Every structure is written in C-alpha cells, then in structure tokens.
Structure 1
C-alpha cells in the first residue's frame, strides 16, 4: 500500500471478498486523480496477480481542512480542523495519527492516551475558532 501512496494515491484499501466459484479473494481499491489512472492501472497489473483493472469515476466532496498544533504533556501534536467552508463552524478536529504514534512510542504509552489528551487540548482551541 505504501507504494501506491508514494505514487500519489489519495487512498488505498483492501476488502475481503468472495469471488466466482466461492473462492476467497481480496479487492484492492485505489482512489486517485483522473490523470493518474494509467499509472495505477499499470502498477496493479505489474505488482499483483490481476489480469484486469476495473475503472470507475466518482464525484468527491471534501471538507475544507486546516492544520494546527496543540501543546500536550507529550509535546506539540498536529491536528486537522474540518469545516464545510471558510468561516463556517468547525465540523470536527482530529489529531494527526503519525504525531500521536511518535509521541506514544517516545513515552512508552498507548496511542489512545496521546490521542485523548490531544482532543482535550483541541477543545479550547475549537472554542476560539468558532465564528
């Protein structure tokens, strides 16, 4: 999956499926920009046992994202702030997983502990961000 992300995939996921004749299989889904379809189709054909690639186009609506850092007892942790549009209320604030993971490893604690503390620190920030 890392190879797909390094090539510019927007998302990559695996889904367990039952194929024809009841065989178990895994569906590889790669979300990418329309201009990158050929790159990923070729990569899938070269890197997997698949003999074909199904391509579908979908519209996508995404929330506006801002980034910030909040201070925690484990150091500064990045957060993503989601809104529908500039000046709109905050939809949600999400701690950056990689920052939480690194802090958890440094302090020898569960990621969930860092995540929860980051959410608490973000609550105060959220109040100041509301229009």
Structure 2
C-alpha cells in the first residue's frame, strides 16, 4: 500500500487544524503557505473531510476550517480511509496461497493498528527532540 499525496496532505491539513484548535478558523491559504503546498490541491482534499464530518467550514472574512471533533477522537486511519480508500497492501489476496494470504493479512493488520491507534492529538503533540541523546547499543 502506497499512501499518495492525498493522504499525506490530508493528514497535514488535519494536524495543522489540531495544532491551531481554539484559535478560530484556519484558512487553507495559511496551511498551504506554512507547508509549501498548493492551496488549490488542499481545497480538493478538504471537501471529503468536510463530507465525512471531520472538519467544519466557517464562512466570512475571517472564515476557514476547524475540526468538527476533538483531536483525541480522530485517528490517522479515519483520515487515510476517507482520502485513500480501504487499507490493503495487496489487491486480491483471496487468490493467493494460504501462506501468502496470512502474510498480507498480518501486514494489513499491523498498518491498520498503527493508523487506528494514532490520533490527531498524538500527531499535533509530536516533536523532534534533537537535544535528546541517541540510544547507544553495545554488543
């Protein structure tokens, strides 16, 4: 399974809205500018997110988008499924031999588990902490 720019940029929109939660509506122009993305492309991606009731649009001069739910209630899996479709590493696994079927199912389940247990709240609070010492392993 390859996640396209639809999924990646959709996650970007949602993470930015989560980071700015409580600050009022955020325009797609702001998100596009801050992340070096096409505003026109983001407009195409936000429509399915709005139709799925993950975001709300606010009209007017100071309008934009806000999250429709708490960031703790929205998972990365929710967003990816809306924008990319079902999570499956291989099409037609039912035609594979049993050993291969089992492998593909385990891969699918592992990916689903990560996406479904990672919330927008987790993603908005993630930070790269370069000040931390890297782990040292001795053999």
Which bin holds the TM-score, normalised by the shorter protein?
under 0.3
Task: With the length of structure 2 as denominator, give the TM-score of the two structures.
Answer: 0.25
Larger radius of gyration: 1
Task: With the length of structure 1 as denominator, give the TM-score of the two structures.
Answer: 0.26
Task: Answer 1 or 2: higher relative contact order, Cα 8 Å, separation at least 6.
Answer: 2
